[in-house]
Chain A
Amino acid sequence: MKAVISKKRQVVVEPKTKDSIYDVPVLVKALAYTITTLFALACLYPFLLVVAVSFSDEQVILENGYKLIPAKFSLEGYKYILQNAGQILWSYGVTIMVTVVGTVLSLFIKSLYAYTISRPSFPWRSQFTFFIFFTTLFSGGMLPKYIINTQMLGLQDSFWALVLPGLCTTMHIIMMRTYMQTAIPNAVVESARMDGAGEFLCYFRIVLPMSIPIIATMALFAVTMFWNDWYRAFLYIVSNTKMIPIQLLLQRLETETKFLQQNAADFGGSTDAMQQNIPTETFKMCLVVTVVTPILIFYPFFQQYFVNGITVGAVKG
């Protein structure tokens, strides 16, 4: 009940009163706005620069360098992506598959575990919590993980190398558990149990729908984590070009400009066109823009849940 009351206060009372608590002098307020706005601009600037370059003319870039306002507008970079879409489209497909499969699997098994350790009737609550918590204190580290994943599990160059090692995060499970404990009165679950609903039904029909803010927050984390993941691909995708996600493609493009040319033949791109005038500079930045844009589109949908999900989930850490 406590959580319900405090949630109510947050929604109804807080916006009206908290902001009038501080009697901040105008000068301090102006300074505060300036600092936060400058920091926000610093966060935005590199992205705007990349967008500007992506719409610039290759020749002008080579002569004048990167500029925030394109001296000569051009869509050559984007045209080039469309013309040579082979590997790029394929890598996009890999990334989308990894993100969808990874997010769904990850949310499912994490929330099931969180539900179990949130139930007061479960006798091994604290042991099960410690079991996952211990992994944040002690870790085998990069090398044993790499050897086990490649040699014992045979994940090298496989799709599952991109999905499986990233499924669970201790902090996220604990936040979900805390949310379930505080935002959902135990009486609700208990009475459903009395009426004969099984644990799985309680989880699926009662607890999950009532945990939407935390699930949405976790979905945001999972989606961006899988979408942005280059690390696992970097470690495990060695020779299989069919499994290169878009982030690894970008990373390889940066170090080996010839990468796309070498692989063009495998993916039906026209090698002749590539040897001619490749708008290398603008083309790379166009690719960066196409990789970041989905995140920008995606994240306002989840942001509305974000602060609420974090606040309730993190009350007890």
Chain B
Amino acid sequence: MKFLKDVKTNLPLLIMAAPCFIWFIIFHYLPMFGVIIAFKDYNYVDGIFGSPWIGLKNFEYLFNTSDAYIITRNTILYSVGGIFLGIIFAVSLAIVFDMLGKTKLSRVNQTIVLLPHFLSWVIISYFVFGLLSVDKGVFNNIIKAFGGEPVNWYAEPKVWPFILIILSMWKNVGFNSIIYYSTIRGFDLEYYEAAKIDGATWWQTITKITIPMLKPTLVILFIMNMGSVLRSDFGLHYIITKNSGMLYSVTSTLDTYIYNGMTGLGDMGATAAAGFYQSIVGFAMVMFTNWVSKKVSKEISLF
């Protein structure tokens, strides 16, 4: 009866929360049950819930191809590399911005480094094409100016791991650094004042105050990022590479594999299995990292 009474007194709040609540049910919770498609022989007519069960056949099919290894390896390497490099670069940049303070030049720079975050991969793919185009691109112009042979970048797998990592940094480091910068600016000034009175140098201020105080934020972001270790930036891996088949060995990830399967270029069963595997391993990774973090330090964990 207490429950009914609570519902009655909080009816206005429940109604206010309802649109968003329903949205989450439709666009997140319904697809969660949709992962069972991995255990079914999916056909268009019967839909997700009506198609017949086939057990683990889809997984057998997926893991018997060499694709499973390549896409898993690529996805994990790009995510892990991106998470670590991203944190290192963004935190360093944030500390440098904090050190330089609110001077005019620094403010202009802060505004500019945010910019790439607000551009889409489609736009960026034109930027990249401007640099990498075989006959007109800036890179090949420079190579030609020094008497070298033009390179067909879009058919040269060995340079793409670098291009993809650099682009992902280029797009995200500025934005993340501003987030860290505003976190650092929010720290209590008393610590800094006390350190100054004690005669701390600028380097000691950074390593002994700023970085330790950032640690909880970093750990939480790290745990959250671990959940997306099997997810990749679809736009980066699909649009920027122009879905070039010659680059698949180093650019294809679970997401591009699923997309290609979904649009009829691959096997639907294997695609569903890859999707299930991505969701479950991602979930396990967050739980595991959170558990480790709880063991290591009592206070810092996501939940």
Q: Which of B31, B114, B133 contacts A144 (CB 8 A)?
A: B31
Most chain A C-beta atoms within 10 Å of own C-beta, residue among B23, B93, B193, B235? B23
Any chain A CB within 8 A of the CB of B53?
Answer: no
**In the complex, how many angstroms separate the beta carbon of B63 from the nearest chain A beta carbon?**
17
Interfacial residues of chain A within 1-18, with CB under 8 A of chain B in the complex: 6, 9-10, 13-15, 17-18
User: Is B20 a contact of A109 with CB atoms below 8 Å?
Assistant: yes
Tell me whether B279 is interfacial, beta carbon within 8 Å: yes
Q: Whole-angstrom distance from the CB of A183 to the nearest CB of chain B?
A: 13
CA A198 – CA B10 in complex, angstroms?
11
Chain A nearest Cβ from B231, distance in angstroms: 8
In chain B, positions 23-45 with a C-beta closer than 8 Å to chain A are 23-24, 26-35, 37, 44
B259 pairs with A254, CB closer than 8 A: no
**Contact pick for A311, options B109, B114, B186, CB 8 Å:** B186
Q: Determine the main DSSP class of B at the interface with A.
A: helix
Q: A228 is contacted by which of B120, B135, B195 (Cβ under 8 Å)? A: B120
How extensive is the interface on chain B, given as a class?
35 or more
Chain B hits for A128, CB < 8 A: 17, 21
Complex interface residues of chain A between 97 and 125 (CB less than 8 A to chain B):
109-110, 112-113, 115-117, 119, 121-124
Contacts of B275 in A (CB 8 A): 140-144
Give residues of chain B (264-303) contacting chain A, Cβ–Cβ below 8 Å.
271-272, 275-276, 278-279, 282-283, 286-287, 303
Whether the Cβ atoms of B17 and A314 lie closer than 8 Å is no
Q: Which residues of A are found within 8 Å of B258, using beta-carbon distances?
A: 141-143
**B129 contacts the other chain (CB 8 A):** yes
CB distance from B240 to the nearest CB of A (A): 11
B201: chain A residues at CB < 8 Å are 23
Tell which of A22, A61, A131, A144 touches B99, judged by Cβ atoms closer than 8 Å: A22
Are B120 and A229 in contact, with the CB atoms below 8 A?
A: yes
Query: Given A139-B32, A142-B262, is A168 in contact with B23 using a C-beta cutoff of 8 Å?
Result: yes
User: What is the interface size of chain A, counting residues whose CB is below 8 A from a CB of the partner?
Assistant: 109
- Residue in contact with A40 in the complex, picked from B98, B108, B186, B205, CB distance below 8 Å: B108
Does A187 make an interface contact (CB < 8 A)?
Answer: no
* Pair count A-B, CB < 8 A: 292
- Which chain B residue has the least Cβ–Cβ distance from A311? B182
Contact at A291–B16, with CB atoms within 8 Å?
no
From the candidates B93, B196, B255, name the one contacting A39 in the complex (CB within 8 A).
B93
How far, in angstroms, from A148 to B235 measured CA to CA in the complex? Answer: 22
User: Which residues 165-188 of B sit at the A interface, judged by CB distance below 8 A?
Assistant: 170, 173-174, 178-179, 181-183, 185-186
Please report whether the interface of chain A is mostly helix, strand, loop or mixed according to DSSP: helix
Q: Which residues of B sit under 8 angstroms from A18, Cβ to Cβ?
A: 98, 101, 185, 189, 192
- Least CB distance, B163 to chain A, in whole angstroms: 13
Shortest distance between the CB of A157 and any CB in chain B (Å): 15
CA distance A165 to B23 in the complex (A): 9
Chain A residues with Cβ under 8 A from B202's Cβ? 22-25, 28
* B:212-266 near A, CB below 8 Å: 217, 220, 224, 227, 234-235, 239, 242, 255, 258-259, 261-262
A164 beta carbon closer than 8 Å to chain B = yes
A22 and B189 alpha carbons, distance in the complex (Å): 12
Q: How far is the CB of A293 from chain B (nearest CB, A)?
A: 11
Interchain CB contact (< 8 A) of B112 among A10, A32, A44, A148: A44
Q: Interface with A: B67-75, B76-84, B137-145, B152-160, which one?
A: B137-145
Interfacial residues, chain B to chain A (CB-CB below 8 A): 6, 10, 12-14, 16-17, 19-21, 23-24, 26-35, 37, 44, 47-48, 93, 96-102, 105-106, 108-109, 111-116, 118-131, 133, 135-138, 140-141, 170, 173-174, 178-179, 181-183, 185-186, 189, 192-193, 195-196, 201-202, 205, 217, 220, 224, 227, 234-235, 239, 242, 255, 258-259, 261-262, 271-272, 275-276, 278-279, 282-283, 286-287, 303
Sorted from nearest, which 9 A-B pairs have the closest CB atoms?
A144-B34, A140-B31, A19-B101, A46-B127, A228-B120, A113-B20, A65-B136, A144-B31, A199-B12
Q: A6-B186, A131-B21 are in contact. List 5 more A-B contacts (CB 8 A).
A: A109-B19, A143-B37, A168-B20, A250-B123, A292-B119
What are 8 pairs between A and B in contact, CB < 8 Å?
A32-B99, A33-B106, A65-B138, A116-B13, A139-B28, A140-B34, A142-B259, A168-B20
